[in-house]
Chains A and B, each alone.
Chain A
């Protein structure tokens, strides 16, 4: 859909498991050229046989991935990565243990070469409550967690189920409902990190389904189907939300996420769309799609890291359907949330005659 490079920012305190996750990512890149920006090469533990070159600031791997040091400044490191040829397919920035990943991630909403996908924040399940109560560190950690579009409760093997419930209760009380995932040894399905690729695949799938058997998808396949007036429409187009089989988003059968697509006709009000997307519950991690707004015409809209971005791409124009794909936590009722937030927009927007 676009040539912007997907960006994932990985935050969390020292000891939360960020480097372990990065090591998984570098060695199981699935053929993608991933550029990982790290604070410290020390703990990066890549099989020596995988290392093609190490020039002090960059470690190049034989699988096409690179690992770059942020030591001399994130600006420098990111500029270097964006000058690489070929460009990476995915950039992952490791935020330092005390920095606010949300502030770093916003570069993925400002720079035209980048598109923020997710802000992943890892916490140590055993330590997180004590850390939140630490008078020196509590505010720093709270800022990190508040910034997360996906919070990974890591090291769950070190706490019993009662302990884990207590951790969840504390996080709920302090931060409200958010997208949360449990893991041990930082084993997080690596594909999740590149939400954009998943979403693009999801949208393709939704399109194919639409062509083949659109009306069927409209109601029957949707556990959270919208009201009746939201389906069948002229020329077989359907409006409303359409859950997409997680199998279509990822081959992983234990996929903790689910996704879907939403459609609505007409010209949307850009400010209302922005406000609606920003009001979505945090269990909706990422939204992306084509819309027509009064201000932009045909444009791609993104919700990532709780913020909205419009991306102007020259297109064949035409008053096509507004079509968004979304991904969120399985079982968190994200389809209803999408419907509630976006349905109102099309209810009130101008429908072409």
Chain B
């Protein structure tokens, strides 16, 4: 390799450069050497390092730091092996926009088109369906049996906790009117409707189709699709916020991401749940696998899960509980266990990312962290509560006092906000969901996220959600929790980088950081709040390598 000083310097000129560095918010030129930012500022400042080639490809574009998705999953790359049948438009890996399907007939129509392209023995698998947009109408075997071809048809719901199947699939899985378990919806005449909910009801079908949504995340094909989807959204660093640390999977992830033509840095979080109370085993595995780390793959953080989800009524919530009277949710990790597990990871110097959805789960996580910090004081731990959707103002004050970060699920406001008003939290508490405004006011470092594939990856859309807090039906959820456009842009760059302890390398355009940019058609900081999600993304640059957005079909 050439001596660093001999590596070529490229100077990029842009219409404007939004640095996210408050000490130098704007620039017009950035010089890149060896994949890092050598200089940023005016033309003279960028040219000061001597001989350089000029690259004007971004001359009429706006550059901002590469966007950082602080909570998503590699499964976003797996789902594209199957047919998208969701309600909203969604961009596939090849850039094609899959139109949202507004009626169940349209879902049947798309499935019918795709089934004609499959081999005879293949199951037809769709994903992204969400019944909440169809009022009281539910999809059933009567709909899916209209798909020709005689093959089994399986449609996963957006939550991944439900599926709809056709009669053929019910027969193959052995489910009929006599199957006496929860989670199998039935018609008034006792026959199954084909809607199956949760593990036991879904398992016979899951086994039949080979559980693809879990098993394929780190395959070459799916990683490539994940990279394409994220890249098209302007993302240059993405998490895999629960990774099971299979040796081969990590080695392959390291190899694939290292290639110059792979468009992402990936930050996998080790699954603390996989190791349970055996924290030592996780630490050992992590230290062994961290030897695979490089600039574009960084293992180190550990993820823990405390409760379930709010829309699934499995989140643990405090008094007065669920608005529709549903019983309290479930613990994924027992409170007492969490206390000891958190203490051990904390003492070992690990940064924890802890999933809490309901406020009772948040309370228990705060108790565990406060205890760990009391026993083992530690500066700059940056433990982060992930989702943390229902935290109360008092809990946010504790979060601030304990030095925690939060990564709020802003996309929830749009996709499930109406359900939260009407069913889960009620018209009052729903307003405090994902309180970005409170976090901002209290000086809590925060990010916002998509949890892709649960909702589409797209930090500008996520920022739009945090700025406007508009539900799918157009209601505003908690006006005082709105944040400004600049604050939202910070949350999807430096804010998220901070929660990953990578703010020294990514998240702003500053000397010494990786040359990771999001290339935009217009300046998002000047966009009307309503239009933030519509700012065009022309491409990205990762470590000095340019990636164009795939063509939009």
Contact = CB atoms under 8 A, between A and B. Distances in A.
Contact count band on A: 35 or more
A316 B442 CA distance: 75
Interface string B410-449: 0000000000000000000000000000000000000000
B204 A139 contact: no
B181 A111 contact: no
Interface in B1-44: none
Contacts of B179: 109-110, 309
Contact of B175 (A14, A41, A42, A110): A110
B337 A79 contact: no
Given A79-B207, A274-B180, A309-B180, A136 B335 contact: yes
A109 B178 CA distance: 10
Contacts of A40: 275-278
A296 B178 CA distance: 10
Interface stretch (A70-78, A195-203, A332-340): A70-78
B211 to A, nearest CB: 5
Interface string A83-118: 000000000000001111001111101111000000
A98 B200 contact: no
Nearest to B274: A71
B337 A14 contact: yes
A110 B334 CA distance: 28
A36 B152 CA distance: 31
Interface string B257-277: 000000000000001011111
B181 A109 contact: yes
A344 interface: no
B5 to A, nearest CB: 46
Interface in B153-185: 173-175, 178-184
A107 B203 CA distance: 7
B207 A82 contact: yes
A239 to B, nearest CB: 25
Contacts of A308: 178, 180
B200 A309 contact: no
Q: Which of A100, A104, A136, A270 has the most CB of B within 10 A?
A: A136
Interface stretch (B219-227, B325-333, B451-459): B325-333
A76 to B, nearest CB: 6
B352 to A, nearest CB: 18
A39 interface: yes
A98 B48 CA distance: 62
A98 B337 CA distance: 10
Nearest to B276: A40
Nearest to B247: A56
Contact of B334 (A14, A71, A107, A296): A14
A192 to B, nearest CB: 23
A10 to B, nearest CB: 16
Given A107-B200, A140-B330, A71 B180 contact: no
Contacts of B206: 75, 79
Given A98-B334, A110-B181, A274-B180, A74 B199 contact: yes
Contacts of B200: 103-107, 109-110
Contacts of A139: 327-328
Contacts of B336: 14
Contacts of B198: 103
A137 interface: yes
A326 interface: no
A348 to B, nearest CB: 21
Given A112-B174, A140-B331, A307-B181, A42 B278 contact: yes
Nearest to B200: A106
Contacts of A73: 214
Contacts of B181: 106, 109-110, 307
A96 B182 CA distance: 20
A262 interface: no
A290 interface: no
B94 interface: no
Given A106-B201, A140-B330, A71 B178 contact: no
Interface in B453-475: none
A105 B198 CA distance: 12
B130 interface: no
A13 interface: yes
Contact of B331 (A39, A98, A109): A98
9 closest A-B pairs by CB:
A106-B200, A112-B174, A71-B274, A106-B181, A98-B331, A40-B276, A42-B278, A107-B200, A310-B178
16 contacts: A13-B334, A71-B271, A72-B244, A75-B207, A75-B211, A98-B334, A100-B330, A104-B200, A107-B203, A109-B179, A109-B200, A110-B174, A112-B174, A139-B328, A296-B178, A308-B178
Given A136-B364, A139-B328, 19 more contacts: A14-B334, A40-B276, A40-B277, A76-B215, A79-B207, A79-B211, A98-B330, A103-B182, A106-B201, A109-B181, A110-B200, A111-B173, A112-B173, A112-B174, A137-B331, A140-B330, A140-B334, A274-B180, A308-B178
